[in-house]
Amino acid sequence: MRDHVKILGALYIVFSALGIFTAIILFIVIAGGGIISGDFEAMSITMLVATILGGLIAFFSIPGLIGGIGLFSFKSWARILVLVLGCLNLLNIPIGTALGIYTIWVLTKPETEKLFLENK
């Protein structure tokens, strides 16, 4: 199960990094569209929309990044955090659902619980 926990940590780091990358690209594209228009009102609206959307996506990606890093060190708080994120990911069809099922399967096994208790 040690390998599964490491794989799960890597998956959360990768998906969270992709989320942060998406937030940055989304911000650049939306804000850039307003800047290209040259209209002050369009610039202010697109900047606001870009900041809100990019910020929300980054905000929801950061816990997965932190949890994935914590899983590599077998931190007990990371197990709880990623388990909660895994349950929330079940709603994100189809990839998030698969990740959520894998998360729940890995982190609820008795062998996995022992790994996290040993590394306190």
Q: Are 85 and 19 in contact (CB under 8 A)?
A: no
pTM tops 0.75, yes or no: yes
Reading the block at residue 31, the tokens are: 């804000």
Domain that holds residue 6: 2-118
pLDDT tens for the chain, residues 1 to 120 = 889 999 999 999 999 999 999 999 999 999 998 888 888 888 889 999 999 999 999 999 999 999 999 999 899 899 999 999 999 999 988 988 999 999 999 999 988 888 888 776
Give the torsion sign (CA, 51, 54, 56, 60).
Answer: negative
State residue 57 phi and psi, 5-degree precision: -65, -45
Domain total for the chain?
1
* Residues found in the chain: 120
